[in-house]
Structure 1
Amino acid sequence: MSRELHAAPHVVQALGAIVGERGLLLGADMAGYEQGARYGQGQALCVVRPASVEEVQAVVRCCVAHGVPLLPQGANTGLVGASTPDASGAQVVLSTSRLRGLCDIDAANRSVTVDAGVTLQELNEKLEPHGLWFPIDLGADPTVGGMIAANTGGTRLIRYGDVRHNLLALQAVLPTPEAEVLELGRALRKDNTGPDLKQLFVGTSGAGAVITRATLEVHVRPQQSATALVVPTSDDAVLQLLQALERELGDYLSAFEGLSGHAMQAAIDHVPDLRNPFAPEPAPDFAILIELEAASSKAYTGLDLQEALNQFLQDQFEQTIENAVIGNGHELWHLRHSISEGARALGKPIAFDVSVPRSRIMAFCRAARAVVAREFPFLHVVDFGHVADGGVHFNVIWLSDAAQPYDAAVVQRLRDRIYAMVVQDYAGSYSAEHGVGPHNLAYYRRYTAPASRRLAQGLRRLTDPQQLCGTVDFGDHEAQ
């Protein structure tokens, strides 16, 4: 019997004494913490929900003293299994759901210091009365700690950057016998007093420390926005349109999202309150959702964003655009955000969150669709993505009514094929936004150079000597 399981009753009792009755979950009460958002079903030793940094420290000390693995978990919305326990029943899930008491807004500094368990929606609700927001736009509602661990991007990355670019300071508890609290950075935009150590915990999927608090840069809420859904004249015209938009209106460009015809149709067919914006014509093969935003009002600048966008589109007609819908922004964004729901309604999604240089994004999508059609003709592609930053959600659906039943071996061949194209043929990444977790760890080991893996693992050992925190082992293993 392993040391963890042998010590389990004593550890659970000790953890319960730390976090109290409300903070300890066992048995059926753990179900929501053991099931991944899309993949994975594990079994935890217990779930602890500390309500303060001091309780986090005490939990960490207890786990380290008994050699018990610890899994930090936010809202559990990740899609690579990094926040889902494995099947061993030995891991303690440390949920940050009760770390939510602090949300200290400094409006003049445009910053907020917030506990790790506060969700993105809650944060923006608190910022709204100050005319501010944290503009990470996602389909899910993650916690602040989870967004940092995954380095979340979203649809407005081209204007505001990802979480990494908006992180000013970080508090984290190290998984060491002393459970030291690290305070990294301050509410400063300029601080060159040494290495930016807080970045060691960004995008690491929770490995190496428990994030407990952060200070974020926040932004002025837009007073103007303009939105259009345009049909490009060709694949080549997509990037020509993007470059022209950046030249003429780049200071206001906040989104440039690509939607395939299959993606739009899946949403229209399966989300009841959606309509086809191109009706009575069918949805086109491909469309671009363009959004402009400005913090300033027309009264001060004289600029009407909708008029500016309309003029730009008129100038681009026949050159790069063959059709356009200039509509209600909420309605067009509802179409974009409903694609994932529509895809799930078609069958079992096989999701690829990839990125390539944006100069090659249309060529990649065209080539990847051709591979699926040629080698996996029984599968259905529903692709969409962040064209302006090179990100693609290349979703492949195993249709519910497919003649060939779902086959995990076929899915593995598809994953190997698409990821090889992304990395080897298009100089891209197999994980654009979702990070590294058990469900793509083999590709990390396959496509990351040994020297880089050794460095990543060495850094983790500095903060987590027993490698107890998180699910990702960045070690220099043989490629799989």
Structure 2
Amino acid sequence: MEEQKRQAALIIELQELLGKQGVLIDASDCAAYSKGARYGDGVSLAVVRPNSHEQVVGIVRICVAYQQPLIVQGANTGLVAASTPDRSGRFLILSLERLKSHIQIDPINRSVEVDAGVSLHELNEALLPYGLFFPIDLAANPSIGGMIAANTGGAKLIKYGDVRQNVLGLRVVLMEPAGEILDLQTALRKNNTGPDLKQLFVGSSGAYGIITRAVLQVHYLPKQTATALVVPRDQAAVLELLQVLERDCSEFLSAFEGISGGALQAVLRQFPSISNPFFPEDCPNYCVLVELSSGITVTHVGFDLQDILNACLERLFGDVVQNAVLGRGAELWHIRHSISEALRHEGRIIAFDVAMPRSSLVAFRADALACIAKDYPWIEARDFGHWADGGFHFNLVWPHLVTQAYDIQTVQAIRSTIYDLVVLRYQGCFSAEHGVGPYNLEFYQRYTSILAQHLAGTLQHSLDPSRLLGLTWFGRELS
């Protein structure tokens, strides 16, 4: 009864701060916020939706006073359950979807100050008239705050870097002191006046504070691009092709995306409007989507990137390259961005977002495929990924139409096998760009050193001593 009284008083204070439109309490209204994009299907106490920084501050102060745990949520596109509550019903969801009124562009500094609730698409629409864009290339449309909390990478990382490399400044609301604003907003690219504190919050999965505004470095839109979907001689030839492109096309290389035949076939099965780019030939066992880009027009420099890419591939034909579809950039990128959605229709996804040294990718893929074929022959590999930066989505599908019923114990055994390969044999990591959330927290605890966990937990305890913010706890006690 005392808990019900506490919750009722909490809701009244939140409604007084935000108005009834800003506080959702009906289960039907909260349901969409409580279910994750792939994992996480919880129950929330309520959903609060501030539309100003001052309201975020007020929410934090109320929650700390009532010792009310909360989950921060952006566009809810994350894949590790870091932005959704558990089934207890005790968490309040703090949705930043309405915190999006501020986009201030400085074209001379090539930077933008933006509220955390602004989506990637909304930001790029605002930047378009200036010939600028935020170059994190994703199939989803996350919020800026969520991208920073997860340190999103994307398909163009090899040229532009990840979110961390493009964050200049942040504004963060702290849990301790309750509701205090840590103003790290700056548009400086060079600042050695002390530790770079903003980086504490980038990639922290929202566990250290609530990001409400960011200053981002943005880039000029390419004025010409060149595209090819390349069939390599074999798996080893993928890395041979990458080395040649980096050597001969150097700063123009903007994407190098591996696509397995299984992933390509899934797209063609699930989306009949997408045609086989290699028709009349069958889909290859493996292909690589290559893109070159430049901010200089053909008229200014006298060369065409598509001609350069075509000539490079022609020199490799018959040795490193067996086949290629040239040009048709929009069509080929549409295929690449349709993979994740296609796999969802094929069955239950067992997703792996891993990274390792590029030199290990071929051996890892062979070992991982052999493990699956030997012990789990009904599981289908549908892998793809950012080979140029060592990122690899070794995604598996448990098909709907198999006799073996989906079994969580089997899935966990597969995860342990694959992650042991990645981390212990190939010196990689279990989360390349999705961050750490409840879904993979056990693997953080398994593979991260005790000393590193202790340090991360010490920071978290200093910033949130009551552990009210989120479900992810990075700490471990030293023995």
TM-score range with shorter-chain normalisation? over 0.9
Say whether 1:349 aligns with 2:349. Answer: yes
Q: Tell me, yes or no, if the aligned pair for 1:185 and 1:196 is still in contact at 8 Å.
A: no
Say whether 1:455 aligns with 2:455. Answer: yes
Say whether 1:249 aligns with 2:213. Answer: no
Distance 2:463 2:74 in 1: 20
Equivalenced residues, count? 478
Q: How far off its partner does 1:178 sit? A: 3.6
Q: Which residue pairs with 1:137 in the alignment?
A: 137
Q: How far off its partner does 1:179 sit? A: 1.1
Distance 1:277 1:395 in 2: 22
Q: How far off its partner does 1:477 sit? A: 6.4
Q: How far off its partner does 1:176 sit? A: 2.5
Q: Which residue pairs with 1:227 in the alignment?
A: 227
Q: How far off its partner does 1:177 sit? A: 4.8
Q: Which residue pairs with 2:90 in the alignment?
A: 90
Q: Which residue pairs with 2:195 in the alignment?
A: 195
Distance 2:462 2:475 in 1: 13
Q: How far off its partner does 1:150 sit? A: 0.3
Say whether 1:8 aligns with 2:7. Answer: yes
Equivalent residue letter for 1:43: V
Q: Which residue pairs with 1:420 in the alignment?
A: 420
The 5 Å alignment of 1:71-220 reads 71-220=71-220
Q: Which residue pairs with 1:326 in the alignment?
A: 326
Please list the CA deviations of residues 202-255 of structure 1 after superposition, one character each: whole Å capped at 9, or x if unmatched: 111110211100000000000000000011112221111111100110111000
Please list the CA deviations of residues 82-103 of structure 1 after superposition, one character each: whole Å capped at 9, or x if unmatched: 0001111111111001100000
Q: How far off its partner does 1:319 sit? A: 2.6
Q: How far off its partner does 1:278 sit? A: 0.7
Judge which range, 107-116 or 14-23, deviates more: 14-23
Q: Secondary structure at the match of 1:440?
A: helix
In structure 2, the CA distance between the partners of 1:395 and 1:276, relative to structure 1 (3 Å rule), is same
Distance 1:362 1:135 in 2: 28
Please list the CA deviations of residues 393-418 of structure 1 after superposition, one character each: whole Å capped at 9, or x if unmatched: 11111111111111111111111111
Distance 1:180 1:238 in 2: 50
In structure 2, the CA distance between the partners of 1:6 and 1:426, relative to structure 1 (3 Å rule), is farther
Q: Which residue pairs with 2:314 in the alignment?
A: 314
Equivalent residue letter for 1:55: Q
TM-score by length of 1: 0.98
Please list the CA deviations of residues 279-331 of structure 1 after superposition, one character each: whole Å capped at 9, or x if unmatched: 11111000010000001111111121011111111111123111111031000
Distance 2:170 2:124 in 1: 19
Aligned identity (percent) is 53
Distance 1:101 1:445 in 2: 39
Name stretches of at least 5 consecutive residues in structure 2 with no aligned partner: none
Distance 2:64 2:185 in 1: 26
Q: Tell me, yes or no, if the aligned pair for 2:364 and 2:426 is still in contact at 8 Å.
A: yes
Q: Secondary structure at the match of 1:84?
A: coil
Q: Which residue pairs with 2:16 in the alignment?
A: 17
Equivalent residue letter for 1:208: Y
Judge which range, 353-362 or 101-110, deviates more: 353-362
Distance 1:272 1:433 in 2: 30
Distance 1:390 1:177 in 2: 40
Q: Which residue pairs with 1:411 in the alignment?
A: 411
Q: How far off its partner does 1:6 sit? A: 5.1
Q: Tell me, yes or no, if the aligned pair for 1:4 and 1:66 is still in contact at 8 Å.
A: no
Q: Secondary structure at the match of 1:56?
A: helix
Equivalent residue letter for 2:14: L
Q: Tell me, yes or no, if the aligned pair for 2:64 and 2:178 is still in contact at 8 Å.
A: no
Q: How far off its partner does 1:185 sit? A: 4.4
RMSD of aligned Cα (Å): 1.3
Q: Which residue pairs with 2:35 in the alignment?
A: 35
Runs (4+) of structure 1 moved beyond 2 Å? Answer: 3-6
Distance 1:113 1:365 in 2: 41
Q: Which residue pairs with 1:379 in the alignment?
A: 379
Equivalent residue letter for 2:180: E
Please list the CA deviations of residues 122-149 of structure 1 after superposition, one character each: whole Å capped at 9, or x if unmatched: 0000000000000101111000000000
Distance 1:419 1:237 in 2: 25
Q: Tell me, yes or no, if the aligned pair for 2:185 and 2:214 is still in contact at 8 Å.
A: no
Q: Secondary structure at the match of 1:439?
A: helix
Equivalent residue letter for 1:282: D
Q: How far off its partner does 1:260 sit? A: 0.4
Q: Which residue pairs with 2:272 in the alignment?
A: 272
Q: Tell me, yes or no, if the aligned pair for 1:5 and 1:90 is still in contact at 8 Å.
A: no
Please list the CA deviations of residues 182-203 of structure 1 after superposition, one character each: whole Å capped at 9, or x if unmatched: 1114101111111000000011
Name stretches of at least 5 consecutive residues in structure 1 with no aligned partner: none
